[in-house]
Amino acid sequence: MPYRKSIVAVGTCAAGLALAAASYVVLGTRADPSRSGSAPVSAGASETHESSRVLTDPLAAQSVVLSAAEFEQFKVQPVGQRAFTILRQTVGNIDFNQEMAVAVFPPFQGKIIALFARAGDDVQQGTALYTIDSPDLVQTESTLISTAGTLELTTRALKRTQQLYEAQGASQKELEQVTSDQQAAEAAHRAARDAVRIFGKTDQEMDRIVAQRKVDSVLLVRSPITGRVTARNAAPGLFAQPGTAPAPFTVADVSTMWMLASVPETDFPLLRLGQDVDVSVTAYPGRVFRGTIVNIGASVDTATRRVSVRSEVADPMHELRSGMFATFVIRTGQAERSPAVPLDGVVREGDGTMTVWVTTDRARLVRRAVKVGLQQDGFAQIIEGLRPGELVATEAALFLNNALTSASR
């Protein structure tokens, strides 16, 4: 005679409610006389009829029946629909935006005297980075002093000649010659000032040099942009000259960074310039940085069969660092609406099958195999096996599996 077997499962459901002493009635199993604790149920016509129905019901072996009190411990909701976006994911590294990086060379050669910034410092445009002792600056300032003296001399000569000419003490030719000399001296002095200005000297500094008749050989090199010092190859005493690598300093605008990724060539047709990407780094769990694809490689790496993709990532808070390991996620298609179940309501079986627990009467739960697609925002996309509106257990599905497994032993 078949028996009804009662299982006591002790555990904690996903909602945090204790299932202590909950009695699950699993249909379709026989009591094992050899097991202790098995007790026969009194015979009767109705009992015999129910047992016969259980044994012939193909769903009975995958079912769990709960009392009303026990059922309240589980969260059951109708299957809804959600939009699932087709995504592609790969990994890469963060790098400085090399298009916004500037190598700060001195405008003229010279020996480095002092340094005012370190690698990693944030600097503003015009911030002093280093100074050099420049012989070219000495020569240019000497020319400035010389032309200033010549201009002063020719200006006095012109004034004196004008007075003589008015008193008929000088000829027209003499006045014109002195005027020409003064104009030439003025042009030479103006050119000398412009030459000194290239070195970064202000008008006030040039006036002081002329007044004191003393050259200043120290050339101050400033940052041309606002950004971060990404490299410093300078040291006091080293000789620096323009265009000779490495540059004493490199400054990069870090308001945007690069994400360098390698995408499988099978995904190459899905990529487009200007596509939005989501970038995540391990340093900031849960954070997503928004970016845009700005370059797609022109060739495929023959060794890895991948294409290089460069994205420009906004970093207004300057949180990203070059070399960070990053994950690149890109939307490659339109969102698709599909039945969705919370991840806690889906169980992966030992053979890889995905199952959910379905009920129609809020008493009997039936385990059903489903085909799962994408997993996004805590929900699993159900491709096959469920229809919208069906009632499923959205929490503690694993405990139901354990209860059924225990009952089958």
* pLDDT on residue 20: 33
Q: Is there a single domain that holds both residue 324 and residue 348?
A: no
Query: What are the residue ranges in the chain where pLDDT is below 70?
Result: 1-61, 70, 332-334, 396-398, 401-409
Report yes or no on 217 lying in a domain: no
Answer whether residue 219 is part of any domain.
Answer: no
The answer as to whether 1 is a domain residue is: no
Same domain, 300 and 176: no
332 with 369: CB under 8 angstroms?
no
pLDDT at position 49: 38
Inside any domain, residue 218 = no
Are 45 and 157 in the same domain? no
Residues 118, 228, single domain; the answer is: yes
For residue 191, CA distances in Å to 147, 152, 186, 197 come to 9, 15, 9, 10
Parallel, antiparallel or unpaired: strands 76-78 and 239-240: unpaired
Asked if residue 245 and residue 258 are part of one domain, the reply reads no
Query: Do 57 and 116 share a structural domain?
Result: no
The residue among 331, 362, 390 that closes a domain is: 331
Indicate if 266 and 283 belong to the same structural domain.
yes
Cα–Cα distance between 334 and 332 in angstroms, integer? 7
pLDDT cut 90: percent of the chain above it: 30
- pLDDT for 26 equals 39
Q: Are 265 and 152 in a shared domain?
A: no
pLDDT attached to residue 1: 35
Q: Determine what percent of the chain is predicted with pLDDT higher than 70.
A: 81
- Whether residue 364 is found in the same domain as residue 400: yes
**Is there a single domain that holds both residue 205 and residue 142?**
yes
CATH number for the domain that contains residue 273 = 2.40.30.170
Instruction: Tell me, yes or no, whether 72 and 10 share the same domain.
Output: yes
Per-residue pLDDT tens digits for 209-261: 999 988 888 888 999 999 999 999 999 999 998 888 899 999 999 889 999 99
* Token reading at 206: 């040039």
Give the range of the structural domain holding residue 157, as residue numbers without chain letter: 135-212
Which pLDDT tens digit goes with each residue over 50-93? Answer: 333 333 345 555 777 777 776 777 778 888 888 887 777 888 89
Domains identified in the chain, total number: 4
Judgement on whether residues 324 and 351 belong to the same structural domain of the protein: no
With 0.75 as the threshold, say if the pTM is over it: no
pLDDT at 51: 34
The CATH number that applies at residue 183 is 1.10.287
